[in-house]
Amino acid sequence: MSQVAAIQMISGADVQANLDTAARLIAEAAAQGAQLALLPECFAAFGNRALQEIGAAEYDGSGPIRRFLAEQARQYGIWLVAGSIPLPAQAAGKAMACCLVLDAQGNEVARYDKLHLFDVEVADNQRSYRESKDYGYGDRFVCIDTPVGRLGLSICYDVRFAELYQALRRDGAELIVVPSAFTAVTGAAHWDVLLRARAIETQCYILAANQGGRHANGRETFGHSCLIDPWGEITACLPQGEGVICGEIDLQHLNSIRGRMPVAAHCRFVPVDDIVPATRES
């Protein structure tokens, strides 16, 4: 069995203040024995309007956020799944909402650019969200091998699109991460049910790290960072506030569930994928 952690934050616009908080919580996750830790969406810059500038500074790997992540992974000998940061696909390009994975030596071993962008109306104090104004669309899914199992990557709004999670399952995913900044309104309505559904459908562990509280810009996020097992049971949860939840990944348990209910083998629907097949990274 392996230990994983989800880190819950209430990030703001100040990048350095966010990194200081992340460092404290990563240290807590490592102290609890986590081999892999997940940061939330927008952990380093929440509500910061200079996303293109932040992303451009990170493009070649020398920016403060990517340096920080490498240093933290090396310091604690832990795999880090870095929620999302703004990062362009090319030097002069539009920022992407990008999830980086770093190994225990601080090497970047995977990059996932968010496929589904949050352009919706919500009955909260912000009312309208237009993520595509700030970010470009990703065009592929990513699944990689890690010490805790084969890892599928997704970000926040992706969780509403079951096709992505089935693609990750077909590519061998055993654990799927969902770094998020779910609003309080949409979270109260749909967070638990969507995450549990994705776990049950894919028979994967789901590790979700959400922003969790009232932010300086007035937005309120739902929290409830959690670990869900392949049977859909929530095994750890943090309702609100900064903190860390830890839990176990038991691949024998996963394989037992899949063996007793082999839904993947029973599927009679043949999908036609509209997104680029995953690049197999390991």
Which sequence spans correspond to the domains of the chain?
A: 2-266
Question: pLDDT tens for residues 220-257?
Answer: 999 999 999 999 999 999 999 999 999 999 999 999 99
| Catalytic residue (one of 58, 98, 99, 114) | 114
Q: Is 242 a catalytic residue?
A: no
Separation between Cα atoms, residue 67 and residue 172, nearest integer Å: 30
- Output the pTM of the full model: 0.94
More confident residue, 90 or 174: 174
149-153 β-sheet, strand order: 143-146, 149-153, 175-180, 205-210, 225-228, 234-238
Q: Which residues contact 276 (CB under 8 A, 6 or more apart)?
A: 139, 140
For residues 172 and 138, the answer to whether their CB atoms sit within 8 Å is: no
Distance of CA 127 to the CA centre of its chain: 24
β-bridge pairing 36-39 and 2-8: parallel
Q: Where do we find the tokens 């362009």?
A: 88
Closest CA to 71 of 42, 40, 30: 30
- Per-residue pLDDT at 275: 53
Q: Is 133 a catalytic residue?
A: no
56-72 mean pLDDT: 95
- Per-residue pLDDT at 282: 41
CATH fit for domain 2-266, picks 2.60.40.60, 3.30.420.40, 3.60.110.10, 3.30.1490.20: 3.60.110.10
User: What's the token pair of residue 70?
Assistant: 């490498």
Q: Averaging pLDDT over each range in 49-53, 129-133, 157-161, which range is the top one?
A: 157-161
| Catalytic residue (one of 41, 58, 174, 220) | 41
Q: Is 156 a catalytic residue?
A: yes
Burial of residue 197, with CB atoms counted within 10 A of its CB: 0-12 exposed, 13-18 middle, 19 or more buried: middle
| Catalytic residue (one of 42, 143, 156, 226) | 156
